[in-house]
Structures are given as C-alpha cells and as structure tokens.
Structure 1
Amino acid sequence: MLRFHNFDVVFAEIPGETTLAINLTGCPNRCPGCHSPHLQGSGGEVLDDDALRVLLGRYGRSVTCVCFMGGDGEPAEVARLAGVVRRTMPQLRVGWYSGRSEFPAGVAAQAFDYVKLGPWVEALGPLSSPSTNQRFYRVGSDGTMEDRTETFRRRP
C-alpha cells in the first residue's frame, strides 16, 4: 500500500509542465546523502484511488501533470495509480521519479509520459549537472524512452 508524506504544485520537476508532485514514503533505496530522508519511513497518508481522486479534484484543473515522487518499493502500484490519473483526468500527463537504475520489469513504461531514473549520488549531482547519473525520459505511446536529461541544463 502506497503512502504519501505531502504534495505540492511545482514547476521544475517536469520541464514545461505545472506539476502536482506527490511525495511517496517507504523509499527502499537508502541513497547516501539523500535529500529527503523523511521519505524512507513508512508514515503518511494512504494513497489509494479515492485519495488520489480527491487530490485530482482539488488540483487537477490547475496543473498539466501529476508526478509520483518515489514509490520504488511498489512500482506496479505506482503504474496502476498512473492509470487512475489517465482515466480520471485524461488531459493530464503523468510522471514518475524513481531512484531505480533501470525501469522495473513487468511494469509498462507507457503508463507514464515522463520517467526519471537513477539513485541520488551526491558527487554526481542532480539532473542539471553534466556529470549526473540520473536520466530523465519522455515516454512514447509505444513505451520507447527518449533521453531528455539535457532539458534540465540551463542554456547561456
């Protein structure tokens, strides 16, 4: 069962989108130097279909995207909730920020429009760093993943 700590409307997580970012708890990755260690615990409110629909009802007309931040312990459930977003508000795009190095087997990439993969490695920096190990992808309707990490780098 997925749980969330909090949520916010953000502008930097998915380039070009106004995003409802939902911070999921229960992160199993334990990345050294984690910037959100409070998400490693199992607390928070249950994120089920009803709770997600409440959030969509409250914020869905103010955003263009919903992004699940975490959920690596239950990737199939994150994908299932992405389907709830698509059925409830089909005009919204859906993203997933995962600390996994690879997309999980058995989960359809096309459940999402955007996916960030890669654990936090402090020495390599965030998505905006040229040395980052993390990758940001735009997912095609056929499940192909186009690397769009460069969209996080500022242009002179």
Structure 2
Amino acid sequence: MHITTMLKYYNYDIVFQEYPDEVTLAINLTMCPNRCVGCHSAYLREDIGEELTHERLTALIDSYDGTITCVGIQGGDNDPEAVLAAGRYIKQHYEGRLRTGWYSGRTWLPDAATLAASLDYVKTGPYSAKFGPLSSPTTNQRFCRVEADGTLTDMTQRFKKKGVND
C-alpha cells in the first residue's frame, strides 16, 4: 500500500535538536514548493529520491526499533494530506510508542481533530533570513506541541540560544 506517489524522501538521519526531548528519525522529503530564499536544504526542492510507501516507512522505523522516540517528517508541503496520512499510519501502526512531527514551511494548519490524530509536534512558517531560524529571537517560525484536543502549545522558546547570563 502506498502513502502517495507525491511523497518522496531523499535521506534520513537520527537527530536530537529538531524535536525537544526526543530521539528522532528525521525523514527529509523532496519536491518542496516553498522556495524559501536562503534555505539550507535547497536540493530538497527537486523531484528526487525514493517513494515513501507504508512498507518503506515501516522498514525505516523498524531499523531503529528501541532507539527512536519520534518520527519527524521534514517537508512534504507538496502534499500535506499525505504527510498527515503518514502521521496517522505511524500513530496507529506503532500504537502510541512513537511520537510524530512535521516541519512545514507553510503558515496554515489543518483542523484540530485532523492535527491531533496525525501529529504530536508541528513547526510552521517559511524560512526567512530577515527573521532567522527557530533559534533566532525574531523568528517568524513556530514550533508547537499538538495536544490531544488539537490545541497547540507553543514551544518555540525551547530553541532560543541562551547567553552566558541566561
């Protein structure tokens, strides 16, 4: 069974900073439509990589069984419904053992029920050099925990760099 023919991934890694307090399998999706000026992963705009099927997603997750606590979908703005479907699949298939997250460059979110059924975390907002990344005090991006009722708890402050007097 396929998630969609519209989601492709180029690479993945285990990361520790993108989702606070999580050991995350971050899957980098391609075909990004956002074209943010200054994007650090501009190659992810291309139609490259392997199709992300349920089978491939399961194989990636299972290869890190017992190591990861979260699966982060990085990108996928070309097909948000497929990203949400992937999140639901992970939540159902892994019966709450893994949290899910989505790094999106968009500024909108789906309705609360859809969001809560699919994701535990969401980062929204396009990258803008003028405002900086999540760690910048002037960032336009937001990182939120998705509560069970679909409301959002802003966690962006967790990314701010601390000074020596903080």
TM-score band, normalised by the shorter chain? Answer: over 0.9
Counterpart of 1:27 in structure 2 is 32
Shift of the 71–83 alpha-carbon distance from structure 1 to 2, 3 Å rule, reads: same
Aligned partner (choices 92, 96, 120) of residue 98 of structure 2: 92
Shift of the 51–3 alpha-carbon distance from structure 1 to 2, 3 Å rule, reads: same
SS in 2 for 1:52: helix
Shift of the 140–18 alpha-carbon distance from structure 1 to 2, 3 Å rule, reads: same
The answer on whether the counterparts of 2:145 and 2:152 sit within 8 Å (CA) in structure 1 is yes
SS in 1 for 2:63: helix
Higher mean alpha-carbon deviation, 107-116 vs 9-18, is at 107-116
If the length of structure 1 is used for normalisation, what is the TM-score? 0.95
1:1-156 equivalences under 5 Å are: 1=5, 2-89=7-94, 90-104=96-110, 108-110=114-116, 111-155=118-162, 156=166
Distance 2:108 2:72 in 1: 18
Distance 1:16 1:106 in 2: 24
Partner amino acid for 2:145?
R
The share of aligned pairs that are identical, in percent, is: 47
| Structure 2 residues not aligned, in runs of 5+ | none
Distance 1:152 1:142 in 2: 24
The structure that has the greater radius of gyration is: 2
Partner amino acid for 1:109?
L
Partner amino acid for 2:57?
L
The alignment of Structure 1 onto Structure 2 pairs a total of residues equal to 156
Which consecutive aligned stretches of 4+ in structure 1 deviate over 3 angstroms post-superposition? 104-107
Higher mean alpha-carbon deviation, 106-115 vs 79-88, is at 106-115
How big is each residue's C-alpha offset from its partner over 1:103-150, in whole Å with a ceiling of 9 and x where there is no partner? 146981111000000000012111011100000001011111111100
| Structure 1 residues not aligned, in runs of 5+ | none
The answer on whether the counterparts of 1:76 and 1:107 sit within 8 Å (CA) in structure 2 is no
The answer on whether the counterparts of 1:25 and 1:41 sit within 8 Å (CA) in structure 2 is yes
- After superposition, the CA RMSD in angstroms is 1.4
